Structure 1
Amino acid sequence: MPGIGSEIVRDSLVVGQVIGDVLDPFTRSATLRVIYESREVINACEFKPSQVVNPPRIEILGNNARALYTLVDYVMKVMVDPDAPSPGSPTEREYLHWLVTNIPATGGINSGHEIVAYESPRPSMGIHRLVYIVFCQMGMQTISAPGWRQNFFTREFAEVYNLGMPVAAMYITCQREGGYRRRRR
């Protein structure tokens, strides 16, 4: 029942307002697995900043064995934080945490070309959504690194490089870990 799984994924992206804030509605045509250490990401699950210090292992399973992907961390893979620096005042929306292109369907993300190195999330206030977005490229592409990480716009990026709609997306939430509390005297 592939339709049921894709409906659940889209619903969680809608409920989490990823669809709307970051992406337009799309039809999922690839499976995205994101794994931090040994913990697999499930849409909308919460991670602490200490759990996402290192880049995750990414697996993209598509219908085309010859496909190339881009991941915007957000395969092309992109990872973004639409809530930077804080959810109440996202003046740096969307903050780019990672950008990997030319990821072969059979070789995995390590065989791709890292355009923007992974930067671990460090939310200072509020709950942040970290979005992993995968685009299917039409072939090997030369994609330039943006000159900044803040105010990266996934929709504009996809348009400039003719990436079309995403083929997969998921997100996690992350918030500042509790520090010490001063004792009141």
Structure 2
Amino acid sequence: MFKGVINNAPKFLKYPNSRNYTMTSISKGWYSKKIVPDVIDQPPTGKLVIEYPDVSIHEGYPIVYPSQVKEPPEVYWKVREHGVYCTLCMLDPDAPSRRKNYLGEWLHWLVGNIADYQVDRGDILAEYIGAGPPRGTGLHRYIFLLYKQPSKMHFNETKLTNQYWKGREKFSMRKFALKYKLGVPYAGNYFEAEYDEYVDELHKQLKLK
């Protein structure tokens, strides 16, 4: 089950105060990994907490394997406002590889109209698929971005299941954010992953093979 901040979330998730939540630490990572400017024009102003069953994501650390992130994570962010709708995305700009990224950005997850921080109750525009870097393509960047919406919205998009790949390739979060007037990312996080044998299973599920 994936979700946003809830009343019984651990205190450090509801009210983060470590240096990981400072603007300085966020900026350095997003620039050094070239997420800025490859995907967005400026780093988010806050940080998403991304929790998988076996691994927690901390701006590129640790390097993960696809078998560790095959199910949707729990997603938390700092509580600031109530009654605000949000859009969450996960994408890979390095498809099929970082050097030859002609299929990027590859859309892995897209949920709109998230109210009261409950991701699982939002409008799922693209069902979650985990990391799937092809064999021999090195590390891929997987980026989570959260945007505040101006209001509850109707998204005129084809909904994508996790059983087929078509429609996920050549996505642009910049264009999507511009289309729906989402502005700059409110919060974000990212990890890097490289191939393991689960990727073959995921590609078969998506009918890429």
Q: For residues 61 and 38 of structure 1, what CA distance do their matches in structure 2 show?
A: 22
Is residue 31–residue 62 contact of structure 1 (8 Å, CA) maintained in 2? no
Q: CA deviation at 1:63?
A: 1.9
- The answer as to 2:85 corresponding to 1:68 is yes
- Shift, 1:38, TM fit: 4.5
Partners in 2 of 1:116 and 1:110 — Cα distance?
Answer: 13
Bigger fraction of residues in strand? 1
Residue 167 of structure 1 pairs with residue 186 of structure 2:
yes
- Spell out structure 1 runs of 4+ moving beyond 4 A: 1-4
User: What amino acid maps onto 1:111 in structure 2?
Assistant: R
- Taking a change above 3 Å as real, the CA distance of residues 138 and 2 of structure 1, as seen in their structure-2 partners, is farther
Residues 1:95 and 2:114 aligned together: no
- Give TM-score, length-normalised by structure 2: 0.76
Query: How big is the shift at 1:62?
Result: 4.1
Q: Is 1:58 paired with 2:75?
A: yes
> Matched residue of 1:89: which SS?
coil
Count of aligned positions:
171
1:84 matched to 2:95? The reply is yes
Instruction: Give 1:67's aligned amino acid.
Output: V
| Gaps in structure 1 of 5+ consecutive residues | 72-77, 180-185
The match for 1:37 is 53
Query: Alpha carbons of 1:24 and 1:62: their partners in 2 closer, same or farther (altered >3 Å)?
Result: farther
Q: Which residue of 1 aligns with 2:143?
A: 131
2:37 corresponds to: 20
Over 3 Å counting, the alpha-carbon distance change for 1:27 and 1:51 in structure 2 is closer
Q: Which moved more, 1:144-153 or 1:131-140?
A: 144-153
- CA offset at residue 31 of structure 1? 3.8
Q: CA deviation at 1:5?
A: 1.2
1:6 is displaced (CA, Å) by 1.5
Name the CA distance, whole Å, in 2 between partners of 1:145 and 1:118.
Answer: 16
Partner SS for 2:48: strand
Q: Which residues of structure 2 form unaligned runs of 5+?
A: 1-16, 159-165, 199-209
Matched residue, 1:122:
132
Q: Distance in 1 between the 2:26 and 2:47 partners?
A: 10
Q: Any idea what the Cα deviations from partners look like across 1:67-89, whole Å, max 9, x if unmatched?
A: 11100xxxxxx111000011110
Helix, strand or coil at the partner of 1:47: coil
SS at 2:77 equivalent: strand
How far residue 164 of structure 1 moved from its aligned partner, in angstroms, is 0.5
CA distance in 2 between partners of 1:27 and 1:157 (Å): 16
Q: TM-score, normalised by structure 1?
A: 0.85
